[in-house]
Amino acid sequence: MKTPMIFLIAVLVLLAGALVFSAIQIIQASQPKEIPSEYSYTKAICDENNVCQDHIVVCQGSQIVSTTPITGAVVQKSQNWKDPRDPRIINEFCNLTE
């Protein structure tokens, strides 16, 4: 008689734990993501002659700390090539909010 009761209590404890864990995950997922104070990413920067080079861009919040060209990461596009990226992506730096 004691074994079924212990089994039932164990199952209830496991279910309660699973519910608490799920609730915590839902709460954490609904909180807004914080933008790190310092972060970096790579970005292709093209000049007026359609020479594009990858750079490491380091940001502090929304301010540029540095841009460093990556050696060997250069490509020459044709003269009539148009950059297909959105103008905001081409021209803006350090804007991770959108």
Angle among Cα 77, 80, 89 to the nearest 5 degrees reads 65
pLDDT one-digit tens code per residue, 28-67: 677 676 666 888 999 999 999 999 999 999 998 888 999 9
Residue 21 pLDDT > 80: no
43 & 21 share domain:
no
Task: Tell me whether residue 49 is in a domain.
Answer: yes
Predicted local distance difference test score (pLDDT) of residue 20:
67
Regarding whether 76 and 52 lie in a shared domain, the answer is yes
* C-alpha to C-alpha distance for 59 and 37, rounded to whole angstroms: 8
Please count the structural domains in the chain. Answer: 2
Mind listing the pLDDT tens digit for each residue in 63-89? Answer: 899 999 999 999 999 999 999 999 988
Same domain, 57 and 20: no
In a domain, 83, yes or no: yes
Is this structure's pTM higher than 0.75?
no
